[in-house]
Amino acid sequence: MEKELEFYSLFSAQKSKEAVLKSNFSSDFFDVFSDKVNFEIPVLTEIVLGKTMYDKIDFNDGINFVISEQFLKILTENKLTGWKTYPVIIKNTDKNYYGFQIIGKSGPLKEKKQKGFHIGYEFNKTSWDGNDFFTPEKTHLRFLSERAKEVLNCEKLTNIEIENIKTIENYSFGEE
Residue 32 has pLDDT above 80, yes or no: no
Predicted confidence band at 27 (pLDDT cuts at 50, 70, 90)?
low
How much is the pTM?
A: 0.88
| DSSP assignment of 99-166 | EEEE--EEEEBPPPSSSEEEE---B-GGG----SEEEEET----EEEHHHHHHHHHHT-TTEEEEEGG
- pLDDT for 102 equals 92
Domain ranges of the chain: 7-172
Three-state secondary structure along 2-70? CCCCCEEEEEECCCCCECEECCCCCCCHHHHHCCCCCCCCCEEECEEECCECCCEEEECCCCCEEEEHH
Predicted confidence band at 171 (pLDDT cuts at 50, 70, 90)? confident
Residue 94 or residue 113, greater confidence: 94
- State residue 156's pLDDT score: 85
Structure confidence at residue 68 as a pLDDT band (50, 70, 90): very high
Q: What is the pLDDT of residue 39?
A: 64
Per-residue confidence (pLDDT) for residue 141, from 0 to 100: 92
On the question of pLDDT at 105 being above 90, the answer is yes
Is the pLDDT at 1 greater than 70, yes or no?
A: no
Mean local confidence (pLDDT), 7-36: 76
What is the predicted pLDDT for the residue at 155? 87
Instruction: Give tens-digit pLDDT for 106-164.
Output: 999 988 778 788 899 999 999 999 999 999 998 889 999 999 999 999 988 999 999 99
Q: 155, 72 in Cβ contact below 8 A?
A: no
pLDDT at 89 over 60: yes
